[in-house]
Amino acid sequence: MNSPKDLKKRLRKEALARRDALDEFWRVEIALEMAETAKEQIAVEPGQVVSGFWPMRSEVDVRPLMFVLREKGARLCLPAILDKTTIVFRELVHGAPMVDTGFGTVGPHEEAEVLDPSLMLVPLAAFDARGHRIGYGAGYYDRAIAKLAEKGLTPRLIGIAFDCQEVSIVPEENHDVIIQEILTESGLRRFNA
């Protein structure tokens, strides 16, 4: 019988293959549409800390979405990998130097302020209709969210994906973080906690 880990690995591979097959110009259009959806449906307070991510491979390009949230007053930050188990979120300031932050992504220089996001745009490989997600297998976000919880913080989590990344059911493991909302080209979907 397949373990949850093996099943997740297969579902991740299949979902990413579907995402990779999407037309790249269509993906750009969708990124802009998703930014418009965010403008209308994601409220942020002035100064609220929002973590985004620098897109890699065929991920949704969340930069237009982050720009919209910054225009609404958000302070932006991006993840930076410190070691094999830890990411922190460094403030993204206009004009500040960007560096390689691991996994083929870039982010703010190590001198940038480390922030605790209260709203997180979460990358993912696959998700199901219950808000369970499959990440890329390293567990960085699960641990980062758990670390925020230890500080008494419960950030609003919005998974960012394309509809084609939805799977029928994600096998559950104890460390998994459930996403309350997913933003895809179909709009913002909320899940019952």
Print pLDDT tens along the chain (193 aa).
Answer: 689 889 999 999 999 999 999 999 999 999 999 999 999 999 999 999 999 999 989 999 999 999 999 999 999 999 988 888 889 999 999 888 888 876 677 889 888 999 999 999 999 999 999 999 999 988 899 999 999 999 999 999 999 999 999 999 999 888 788 899 999 999 999 987 5
* 170 Ramachandran zone, left/alpha/beta (phi>0; psi -120 to 50): beta
- Residue 183: beta bridge partners? 160, 188
Helix (H) or strand (E) holding 97, with range, is none
Residue 166's pLDDT is: 97
Instruction: Supply angle C-alpha 89, 186, 20, rounded to 5.
Output: 65
Tell me the backbone φ, ψ of residue 158, rounded to 5 degrees.
Answer: -125, 110
Q: Which two tokens stand for residue 32?
A: 């802009």
> Taking a C-beta distance cutoff of 8 angstroms, is the pair 122, 89 a contact?
no
Reduce the DSSP state of residue 78 to 3 states and report it.
Answer: strand
Cβ neighbours of residue 73 closer than 8 Å, sequence gap 6 or more: 44, 45, 46, 47, 48
- 4-132+141-190 topology per CATH: Rossmann fold (3.40.50)
The domains of the chain are located at 4-132+141-190
Between the alpha carbon of residue 44 and those of residues 40, 67, 107, 158, 186, the distances in Å are 11, 12, 22, 13, 21
Residue 174's pLDDT is: 82
